[in-house]
Structure 1
Amino acid sequence: MTVARSILLFAVAALFEIGGAWLVWQGWREHRGLWWIAAGVLALGAYGFVATFQPDPNFGRILAAYGGVFVAGSLAWGMVVDKFRPDRWDVIGAAICVVGVAVIMYAPRTPS
């Protein structure tokens, strides 16, 4: 159950961070206005809180693993929201990142 909870938290964090960054991008680069930017800033702040609910107590480990989630999630967001079509190298790179997440977060460890 802990792994499932952790994966769910990574997914929620990705929605907040990637969605927040996208809102800021839309507000600034696409000239949609300050309300879009403000919504993005709030979403980015929510991402920071979601990360604190991960079961592992090590900030560095959580953030390092989340980096891989961010890579894969950003490509998925681009596909769904912006109709971006990743090439095989994007997909291979994202898969490597996801494997890295699994190793960092879920490999068996001996208690220190």
Structure 2
Amino acid sequence: MKTGLIFLAAAMAEIGGCFAFWGWLRLGKTPVWLVPGCCCLLLFAYLLTLIDTSVAGRAYAAYGGIYILVAVLWMWLAEGAQPDRWDCLGAGLCLLGAAAILLAPHSQ
């Protein structure tokens, strides 16, 4: 449960940070948007260090599946673009991959 919450918070921080840059470069927002964007990206990086795994790459790989799901939800809830069946299928497959990476009995 704790890992899932950390991944969710990390995804929200990363998407928020990246969206701040998107807003500045693509939506004509003021460069002031970069300040909270950079803070969000720093928070994202910190949060991933809290994942209980022996190697960073495994945490990053498992996080990728969570990130994709949250990005699809962001697209829908923040940008108003409803996901289609392919968005949902892709996110579901990525979650399965994340679960396999995170929950498998890896040899040390």
TM-score (normalised: structure 2): 0.94
2:15 counterpart of 1:18 = yes
Aligned residues: 108
Match of 1:58 among 55, 75, 80: 55
Residue type matched to 1:8 in 2? L
The corresponding residue for 1:93 is 90
Instruction: Give deviations 1:14-45, integer Å, cap 9, x for gaps.
Output: 01001111111112211111111221111111
Residue type matched to 1:87 in 2? D
The corresponding residue for 1:70 is 67
Match of 1:105 among 94, 102, 105: 102
Single out whichever of 30-39 and 6-15 deviates more from structure 2.
30-39
Match of 1:44 among 26, 41, 44: 41
State the Cα RMSD in Å.
Answer: 1.2
Matches of 2:98 and 2:20 in 1, distance apart?
Answer: 26
Identity among equivalent positions (%) equals 31
The corresponding residue for 1:30 is 27
Change (3 A) 1:14 1:55: same
Following superposition, the deviation at residue 111 of structure 1 comes to 5.1
Matches of 2:58 and 2:89 in 1, distance apart?
Answer: 23
Unpaired segments ≥5 residues, structure 1: none
Matches of 1:56 and 1:110 in 2, distance apart?
Answer: 10
Q: Which runs of 4 or more aligned residues in structure 1 lie more than 2 Å from their structure 2 counterparts after TM superposition?
A: none
Matches of 1:101 and 1:110 in 2, distance apart?
Answer: 14
Single out whichever of 45-54 and 22-31 deviates more from structure 2.
22-31
